[in-house]
Structure 1
Amino acid sequence: MTRNKKFLHLAALTAAATLYLTVTSHVAAETGNRNCGPRALVVDRLAQGYGETRQSMGLGTNNQMIEVFASSETGTWTITVTSPAGVTCLVASGQAFEELAEALPAPGNDA
């Protein structure tokens, strides 16, 4: 897959994740979803139970904080969304986390 295709794929996944996170956080807030809790408690459980630490973060819609936690030792990862009220919900998790530091291709070059 060329870099441009990878970038477009990543952009599409990011857009889908943002939409999912927005809907999930609203549903969780309204329904009392069990995958949600006070941020400090969720972060502590990710650290103690899985050895995960925050790897990246960003601001989503409605001032929601999106974070990626991962463990370089076990390869586990978790994506969370935190509302301005401090409620954190787990929205995705998995295995085989890899940290990447890829440079963007030069304009007009999809290699």
Structure 2
Amino acid sequence: MKPNKTLITLGALVMAATFNLVTTGMAAAQQNRNCGPRELVVNRLAEGFGETRQSMGLGANDAVVEVFASEESGTWTITVTSPNGVTCLVASGQAFEELAEALPAKDNDA
């Protein structure tokens, strides 16, 4: 698939799904050692899984939430990077798909 500028939709869904996980998930990830310097984490996602950044946003406490994915293999990873530069893996999975869904009509109850 070609990159699409409407990844905002995917980013919004990811942000909504991980908003509460940012602080609690990051603390748990740090305890489980799923964290490291951002450059190291990004390199491992790229070299090990072929994942590149697909979307990003700002979460609670100025944390940067990013979605990395591989269109070839379908793997995906959500990371959270704290202001001090530590990046933690929050979630990962398979069957990544890029979506570009429009908002429902204003008067639509969908």
Query: Could you tell me the TM-score, scaled by structure 1's length?
Result: 0.80
| 1:25 paired residue number | 26
Task: Give the gaps of 5 or more residues in structure 1.
Answer: 1-9
| 1:85 paired residue number | 84
Distance in 1 (alpha carbons) for counterparts of 2:105 and 2:17: 26
Give RMSD over aligned pairs.
2.2
Task: Give the gaps of 5 or more residues in structure 2.
Answer: 1-11
What secondary structure sits across from 1:91 in the alignment?
A: strand
Matched-pair contact (CA < 8 Å) for 2:54–2:67: yes
Number of corresponding residues: 100
| 1:39 paired residue number | 38
Distance in 1 (alpha carbons) for counterparts of 2:33 and 2:84: 17
User: RCO (CA 8 Å, sep 6+): is it higher in 1 or 2?
Assistant: 2
What secondary structure sits across from 2:36 in the alignment?
A: strand
Matched-pair contact (CA < 8 Å) for 2:52–2:68: yes
Distance in 2 (alpha carbons) for counterparts of 1:93 and 1:57: 15
Distance in 2 (alpha carbons) for counterparts of 1:100 and 1:15: 16
Query: Could you tell me the TM-score, scaled by structure 2's length?
Result: 0.80
Which protein shows a greater Rg? 1
Distance in 2 (alpha carbons) for counterparts of 1:26 and 1:74: 29
Distance in 1 (alpha carbons) for counterparts of 2:55 and 2:63: 14
Paired letter, 1:58 = G
Matched-pair contact (CA < 8 Å) for 2:15–2:59: no
